[in-house]
């Protein structure tokens, strides 16, 4: 290689040289060792360089096929470029806005539908012949997006060293890892890169589409399946008892689990269920395993190595163990701010800490419990109510599949607690009885109404859209 490469690409090349046959990517009709993967990356980097892409430029990627997207991502890192996913499922106006803010040099896409007015377009070619070596431009950067309260996405940059630091939390978790989320999503891309950084084999998301998650885990020998709670609910609805491969552990991530989800997964599929908590800006910071679920039901788990958390109350006062306050997080490889958004950066990044807007507590044993978003906490008169406590009270009610608590604003009372409930598949749910059940457990903090719905509105990451629920309740 000519020139200096970044930390992540350097590690992948080292693994390819040490054990080229070690499986890196596999899936339906595909099995690539590290040697073959990095040979493809080198060939694509040389092709892109020959077509004018240079170190330091910013390139947009619109490639739906996951293996191709991965190779494009690594090739751009190899060239020392900054890259951003312009997801094919995003509205054209959003893609164009991100492209303009980053000053894209070119859009790399599968077809002309990916092109954006005012930006050069380069079609992706799936196979590239070996060419002369591409110049290496140092450390590449992956830009991730995060939703903003104004509808304008936040842009967060991670260099290769930061990506490697965040990948450390998956070291030693097994060889074959699967997350049924594609590379066009933040969590899908970061997951794939972290698996490879640890020398693991990334199972393509397409594997789950062939016969479901349980079959994919069994067929490919998956050691770790990472899924969001709504995907876990779908898994429970389709995977029969005794059908789960014993070697596969389940990581729940992306949103809080509710409705005794962990307990139901352990009873139906495997005791090896882990809960992970984090944020785009800091990666994963805490994990709860089977022993933690037993000792601290509803807890978020123990802090990962290198992570620090402080809990602050009014006026920035540090709170003692067990008291709920605003969480401040610090973790290896964390972001330092948002691109072109000084106001949002000032709110979220303070004195080297990231403030996600979550409220929680640390107990005397160092276990973390996240109570919920500070902006989701309901103020019913002078009573503080967290969605999580309502959802926990509803958990296990006969006929309940999933639920989400939210607030309906009232001039007289402040924020009125409400509960949206979805029946379990094939079950009948008595909303009035569920409401009475919650009132018996929570008293004043109980929901005032239960809305029985066919499904909960979610964003692409699987998080419940509580504002949409509030709008729906107000219209009824």
Average pLDDT over residues 355-383: 81
Pairing relation of β-strands 349-350 and 308-312?
unpaired
Q: Flag whether pLDDT at 412 surpasses 70.
A: no
Between CA 275 and CA 296 the distance in angstroms is: 12
**pLDDT for residue 380:** 75
Average pLDDT over residues 362-371: 87
Between CA 328 and CA 309 the distance in angstroms is: 6
Q: Which of 26, 264, 58 is nearest to 143 (CA)?
A: 58
Per 3-state DSSP, what percentage of the chain is helix, strand, and coil (rounded to 5)? 35, 30, 40
**pLDDT for residue 415:** 82
Q: Are 236 and 262 in contact (CB under 8 A)?
A: no
**pLDDT for residue 52:** 94
Distance of CA 185 to the CA centre of its chain: 8
Q: Are 469 and 418 in contact (CB under 8 A)?
A: yes
Q: Flag whether pLDDT at 149 surpasses 60.
A: no
Q: Which tens digits make up the pLDDT trace of 83-103?
A: 999 999 888 888 999 999 999
**pLDDT for residue 382:** 57
Residue 452 neighbours by CB distance under 10 Å: 18
* DSSP single-letter state for residue 173: S
Q: Which tens digits make up the pLDDT trace of 152-183?
A: 889 999 999 999 999 988 888 899 999 999 99
Q: Are 96 and 117 in contact (CB under 8 A)?
A: yes
* DSSP single-letter state for residue 445: G
Domains of the chain, first to last: 7-167 (3.40.50.980), 376-475 (3.30.300.30)
Stretch among 223-232, 289-298, 366-375 having the lowest mean pLDDT: 366-375
Question: What proportion of the chain, given as a percentage, has pLDDT over 70?
Answer: 95
**pLDDT for residue 242:** 63
Q: Which tens digits make up the pLDDT trace of 327-352?
A: 999 999 999 999 999 999 999 999 99
**pLDDT for residue 230:** 81
**pLDDT for residue 4:** 84
Q: Which tens digits make up the pLDDT trace of 63-85?
A: 999 999 999 999 999 999 999 99
Average pLDDT over residues 241-267: 86
Q: Which residue has the higher pLDDT, 415 or 420?
A: 420
Residue 374: is it exposed, middle or buried by C-beta count within 10 angstroms (0-12/13-18/19+)?
middle
How many residues appear in the chain? 476
Stretch among 69-83, 121-135, 219-233 having the lowest mean pLDDT: 121-135
Between CA 250 and CA 288 the distance in angstroms is: 12
* pTM for this predicted structure: 0.82
Q: What distance separates the 2 farthest-apart alpha carbons in the chain?
A: 73
**pLDDT for residue 375:** 67
**pLDDT for residue 107:** 97
Between CA 40 and CA 56 the distance in angstroms is: 21
């Amino acid at each position: 290689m000519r020139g200096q490469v970044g930390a992540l690409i350097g590690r992948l090349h080292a693994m390819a040289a040490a054990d080229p046959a070690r499986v890196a990517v596999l899936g339906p009709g595909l099995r690539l060792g590290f040697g073959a993967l990095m040979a493809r990356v080198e060939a694509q980097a040389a092709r892109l360089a020959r077509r004018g892409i240079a170190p330091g430029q910013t390139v947009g990627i619109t490639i739906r096929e996951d293996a191709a997207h991965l190779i494009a991502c690594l090739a751009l890192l190899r060239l020392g470029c900054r890259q951003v996913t312009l997801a094919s499922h995003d509205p054209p106006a959003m893609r164009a806005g991100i492209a303009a803010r980053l000053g894209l040099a070119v859009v790399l896409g599968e077809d002309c539908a990916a092109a954006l007015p005012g930006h050069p377009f380069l079609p992706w070619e799936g196979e590239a012949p070996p060419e002369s070596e591409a110049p290496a431009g140092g450390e590449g950067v992956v830009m991730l997006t995060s939703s903003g309260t104004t509808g304008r996405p936040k842009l967060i940059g991670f260099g290769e060293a930061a990506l490697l630091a965040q990948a450390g939390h998956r070291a030693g978790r097994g060889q074959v890892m699967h997350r049924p989320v594609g590379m066009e999503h933040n969590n899908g891309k970061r997951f794939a890169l972290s698996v490879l950084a640890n020398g693991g084999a990334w199972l393509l998301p397409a594997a789950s589409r062939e016969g479901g998650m349980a079959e994919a885990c069994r067929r490919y020998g998956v050691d770790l399946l990472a899924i969001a709670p709504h995907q876990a609910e779908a898994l429970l609805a389709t995977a029969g008892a005794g059908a789960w491969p014993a070697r596969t552990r389940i990581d729940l991530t992306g949103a809080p689990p509710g409705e005794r989800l962990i307990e139901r997964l352990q009873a139906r599929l495997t005791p090896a269920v882990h809960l992970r908590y984090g944020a785009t800006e800091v990666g994963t910071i805490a994990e709860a395993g089977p022993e933690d679920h037993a000792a601290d039901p509803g807890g978020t788990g123990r802090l990962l190595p290198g992570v620090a958390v402080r809990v602050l109350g009014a006026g920035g006062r540090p709170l003692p163990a067990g008291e709920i306050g605003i969480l401040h997080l610090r973790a290896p490889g964390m972001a330092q701010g948002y691109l072109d958004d000084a106001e949002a950066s000032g709110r979220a990044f303070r004195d080297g800490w990231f403030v996600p807007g979550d409220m929680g507590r640390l107990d005397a044993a160092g276990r973390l419990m996240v109570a919920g978003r500070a902006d989701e906490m309901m103020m019913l008169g002078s009573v503080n109510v967290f969605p999580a406590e309502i959802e926990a009270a509803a958990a296990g009610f006969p006929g309940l599949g999933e639920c989400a608590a939210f607030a309906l604003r009232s001039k007289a009372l402040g924020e009125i607690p409400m509960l949206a409930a979805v029946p379990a598949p094939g079950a009948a749910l008595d909303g009035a009885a569920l409401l009475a059940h919650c009132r018996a457990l929570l008293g004043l903090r109980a929901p005032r109404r239960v809305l029985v719905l066919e499904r909960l509105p979610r964003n692409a990451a699987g998080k419940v859209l509580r504002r949409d629920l509030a709008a729906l309740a107000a219209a009824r």
